[in-house]
Amino acid sequence: MIKKYLRKPHYSWLVLAALCGLAFANRACGVNILTVFFLPMAEEFDWNRTQISGAASIGALIGAGASILMGRLSDYMGPRIILGIGALIVTFSMIALSQMTMIIVFYIFYGAARVSDQGLIQTVSPSTLTKWFSGNSGRAVSIYFGFMALGGVLLPLLTHLAIMDFGWRSGWLLLASVMFFIGFVPTVLLVGSPGKGEDNTGNTKSESENVPTEFSLSQTLNSKDYWFIAIAVFVTGILTAGIGLHIVPFLVGQGLSPEIAVSTVSIRFLSSSIGGFVAGFLIDRYGPRPTVIGALAIRIISIGLLIFADTFFEAIFTGALDGFSDGAQSTAVVLLLVSYFGKSNVGGIYGVTRAFKVAGFSAGPIIAAIWFDLSGSYSAVLWAFFLLAILSVILISSTRRIKV
């Protein structure tokens, strides 16, 4: 393979570059991309938004189950095959979506892309990075999540332009091309598992790498500290998706224009990238646990301000805080797991944790929607989310490293 022709101390950065390309391209499966296709597909096929959204929810739920298996498999067989298959599934699904004429075809192939997104690519990539980097791991993971956020900003714009000029089918083909050339090709050429001495030994170890013991998956699942982390991750998944999907109608209901409401979504992705990048430096200096707690505390503030937001500045500011918190937390959680339970089985451990997060993604929008339908207001559910954010801080603050 290519890596034997390169100096080993630097190869980890090529792995990072390949995974960043994959993370960027993988935003093709995000709901913010699907939103761009809503109107043109609904107009051509007379589909309603519930029908279109259903494929995303079903795919994410199946992906949550797949993440448990794929994370475990990556510990034994390495990441290249799993990530390569995931990238190909997304590529061929996007091509198939460009040719579809029936709702069942949309469900099959968009659902497959979402399973690959949640169950394969987003599960295996972060845990792979933690195995390649002995030092600067916080920085490496933050760069990865930064490119993921960048894809969330740029790909919807590029797709929208393609749809405006050439139609919605060309939008899916564009996304297929991006995944194949930026995601699949670098991944199969560069990404593998490190052997002894192949991590980034040129860096000193950070607090996140000071691991007292390597835990097996079963030992981890028998630890109350893991369950505190898993429940906190589930809760933050509820908050991220519950607020994210309903933020526009909430702000419009507060008297703001749709344009201002939508702009908060873009601000959220941009600040998420910044939050992830800043978190990387904080993790390497202070460790992942204080970073996670700080990120969750920022989310408490953002939700508290959002409840009363009714001006342009307040909407943008709360969106920036929420995005920064989400980006910082996403970066820190995987390294928190490594610092508590070690690297050897981090793929399986992160896979289970990812399943909790995806379950929260699925539950959050439903909780907010039902609450609004029953009460006619988002106020009560936002206060409930505020209390859940406080609970997540308490849970992470209650965890401690343990030995077996």
Q: Please work out, in degrees rounded to the nearest 5, the angle formed at the alpha carbon of residue 132 by the alpha carbons of 401 and 187.
A: 130
Q: Based on the domain organization, do 305 and 333 belong to the same domain?
A: yes
Q: Based on the domain organization, do 232 and 378 belong to the same domain?
A: yes
One-letter amino acid at 31 equals V
Tally of domains within the chain: 2
Residue 66 has pLDDT above 70, yes or no: yes
Residue recorded with tokens 């904080």:
282
Q: Based on the domain organization, do 139 and 222 belong to the same domain?
A: no
In a domain, 138, yes or no: yes
Q: Based on the domain organization, do 266 and 154 belong to the same domain?
A: no
Q: Based on the domain organization, do 339 and 384 belong to the same domain?
A: yes
HSE-up of 79 (CA within 13 Å, CB side)? 37
Q: Based on the domain organization, do 174 and 323 belong to the same domain?
A: no
Residue recorded with tokens 């956020």:
149
Domain that holds residue 105: 2-194
Q: Based on the domain organization, do 280 and 357 belong to the same domain?
A: yes
Q: Based on the domain organization, do 22 and 131 belong to the same domain?
A: yes
What would the 3-class secondary structure string for 190-211 be? HCCCCCCCCCCCCCCCCHHHCC
Q: Based on the domain organization, do 258 and 352 belong to the same domain?
A: yes
Residue recorded with tokens 């928190």:
336
For 341-361, write each residue's pLDDT tens digit: 988 888 889 889 988 988 888
Q: Based on the domain organization, do 236 and 282 belong to the same domain?
A: yes
Residue 204 has pLDDT above 60, yes or no: no
Q: Based on the domain organization, do 99 and 142 belong to the same domain?
A: yes
The pLDDT of residue 58 is 81
Q: Based on the domain organization, do 61 and 143 belong to the same domain?
A: yes
- Kindly state the percentage of the chain with pLDDT values over 90: 39
For 362-381, write each residue's pLDDT tens digit: 788 778 878 888 888 889 99
112 or 344, which is more confident: 112
For 318-330, write each residue's pLDDT tens digit: 989 998 999 899 8
368 vs 377: CA distance, rounded Å: 10
The pLDDT of residue 380 is 92
The pLDDT of residue 199 is 47
Residue recorded with tokens 């399973």:
115
Domain with 355 in it: what CATH number?
Answer: 1.20.1250.20
76 or 108, which is more confident: 108
How is residue 398 annotated by DSSP? T
| Nearest of 241, 249, 227, 239 to residue 362 by alpha carbon | 241
Residue recorded with tokens 């709360």:
318
The pLDDT of residue 201 is 44
In a domain, 204, yes or no: no
In a domain, 277, yes or no: yes
137 vs 396: CA distance, rounded Å: 20
341 vs 215: CA distance, rounded Å: 5
